[in-house]
Chain A
């Protein structure tokens, strides 16, 4: 049982309370609306007394389940493609589906997201073709979607750098007068537990606070920064860092898609209404490796992984849907079939991705171009053409 986790075993022995309150002292509890066993909690209180709840239709519940399954399946396909040599690398989101789908679906159309390199689930929720990040990891491009069209920025690999971009963008939203109402815009910055040690993240906390930026910091605490455990990054629960910067923080069960949605939607709406930034710590676990280059058996034990397996985000949603008779076996089968079809389609398209023409490496270095670069391109082209028709 990880430190700070509410203790699923204890709770399952009693009736689920109508409202759960985060502990006032000691280790805080998570905001949770769906237990690992699939029991619904009607509402939950955050550390500042905010009451979180969701009110979904059956169709919406089924939609969230479908998202979770599809996102996991596509991710597994990408991992397989890497193992078969079709991708250079893959950063799997396995285990973090609920944090990503919950927060991703909480975004309104006008909201802008700034991801790391693992937000495939959020990307999916934003309506971007899931093949897009595979181009990056296959090495045929460096990310091909239009950030402004989908309101989802390019992946950022330098840890934490995007939190400052999100902060500046959010400052711009406020400067444009787009906050203060229901139709206001909000911004979300994704990062991980390791990133909280970065200067850029701490600077973005300062900036967002003093400029009251309409921004949600969404930290997926998946317990490891490659091999380094959370204890190497912090001695306080991450969500409490927010207090020192002057804005609220809350820890949510990141394996609970409903709570992740509720907490994020609330924070985004506060931001869009002009109430400034907040920090969400989505407490979750990276079930797979950091990337396909990593071997997590060197730094964590199997029992820990098994304990988190019991808190799987999809299993609990399935249990809930089943118990509440919101979905039946035919629905689950259909979702699995859809996931299989989409992943096969994804695979086929990845294998068909052409390598870029070498000369395209000179494209888009500068919006206004560069005579120096034009000359290099011309020489390179001439050099390449010198091989044509040769035995080379």
Chain B
């Protein structure tokens, strides 16, 4: 089997299958995850092979999904909840931020909630409203939750299994516009030896400026780096992978070399992850910086109608524009 070429979606599906095989306490629950295999087919075929007690079609209520998963977790299960779309997670917000996130803390470590909340997030697929949002900051702001996002099929396959194996409650953000992008996946490598879940990784080395991204924007940043290279400028792209806790070790090291940093995300800029990252890099790399840390983000508007989302979303040109500005400072 070894290495296969899979889409990111299929890599997630395969990772979920592995998790179900490896631990009988793992259960998948959500809307349409059973026969249909989920609206994006990420759970395709799993109910058929593992039964409707392991892959549970739930009633249509997000708070109910997360709230009952809390009870299952207290009972000793490891629930993997699917929220169908980013914009549908808010009815579950209390259960996530007040119950899931705080249970271990309140109980002084006596109760663990080893839950994964999978959310397809972000725009770029021409969807109607509430189907293209980037809610990561809400969850990253909440103590007790960890938040990660995968950017390629290999990470999708590994990270979903690591998240399920972790006793921390984890919001797992899936870059839905990248579900169909293909890449090599090593299916044989043991998960225990894999690159750590809560660690950033250099996706492309470079010397002139540092670009930080996660999830769907990693591809955009890499495309920008390719284009910049044609102009003789080498961008170092770092895939943050973990949004909470942030791992900026590689970013600090990079910025100390390049002196320039651009953070990219789809979510609105105001009080977004980019703000926190810029603040930390400023604190840690103050004397190395040749320009302020710049942010390339969605605008501070509601997610717009699909026909203008290309203008809303950061793209290659906006990333390059920001890089140019760091050089012109």
Contacts and interface: CB of A to CB of B under 8 A. Distances in A.
Contacts of A167: 64, 67-68, 71
Contacts of B27: 175
Contacts of A370: 146, 245
Given A169-B71, A367-B112, A142 B106 contact: yes
Contact of B168 (A142, A161, A367): A367
A305 to B, nearest CB: 33
A240 B75 CA distance: 30
B39 interface: no
B249 to A, nearest CB: 9
Contact of B63 (A173, A203, A368): A203
Contacts of B98: 158, 161
A200 B76 contact: no
Contact of B59 (A169, A207, A367, A371): A207
Interface in B104-126: 104-112, 114
A338 to B, nearest CB: 30
Contact of B67 (A153, A172, A200): A200
Contacts of A55: none
A167 B146 CA distance: 25
Interface string B55-84: 000110101101111111111110100000
B71 A368 contact: no
B295 to A, nearest CB: 20
Contacts of B76: 172
Contacts of B253: none
Interface in A133-173: 141-144, 146-148, 153-154, 156, 158, 161, 163-173
Nearest to B247: A371
Given A153-B74, A161-B99, A371 B245 contact: yes
Interface stretch (A261-269, A277-285, A358-366): A358-366
Contact of A365 (B91, B94, B105, B246): B105
A137 to B, nearest CB: 14
Contacts of B66: 164
A163 B95 CA distance: 11
B237 to A, nearest CB: 23
Interface string B117-146: 000000000000000000000000001101
A154 B58 CA distance: 26
A164 B246 contact: no
A365 B71 contact: no
A60 interface: no
A175 B103 CA distance: 23
The size bracket of the interface on B is 35 or more
Nearest to B248: A372
B67 A204 contact: yes
Given A165-B99, A200-B63, A204-B67, A368 B166 contact: yes
B109 A364 contact: yes
A378 to B, nearest CB: 15
The size bracket of the interface on A is 35 or more
B110 A164 contact: no
Given A164-B64, A165-B71, A207-B68, A158 B245 contact: no
B97 to A, nearest CB: 10
A373 interface: yes
Contact of A169 (B72, B104, B247): B72
Among B66, B67, B106, B114, the most chain A Cβ lie within 10 Å of the Cβ of B67
B301 interface: no
A366 B114 CA distance: 10
B108 to A, nearest CB: 5
A167 B114 CA distance: 17
A176 interface: yes
B74 A169 contact: yes
A171 B104 contact: no
A199 interface: yes
Interface in A171-217: 171-173, 175-176, 199-200, 203-204, 206-207, 210
B167 interface: yes
A364 B168 contact: no
A279 to B, nearest CB: 17
Contacts of B166: 368
Contact of B106 (A114, A154, A166): A154
B167 A143 contact: no
A176 B104 CA distance: 23
22 contacts: A142-B105, A143-B107, A146-B107, A161-B98, A164-B64, A164-B71, A164-B95, A167-B68, A167-B71, A168-B73, A168-B74, A171-B68, A171-B72, A200-B67, A200-B95, A203-B64, A204-B64, A204-B67, A364-B107, A366-B104, A367-B109, A371-B245
Given A164-B68, A168-B79, A199-B91, 16 more contacts: A143-B107, A161-B98, A164-B63, A164-B70, A166-B71, A167-B71, A168-B70, A168-B73, A363-B109, A364-B104, A365-B104, A365-B105, A365-B144, A367-B114, A372-B245, A372-B246
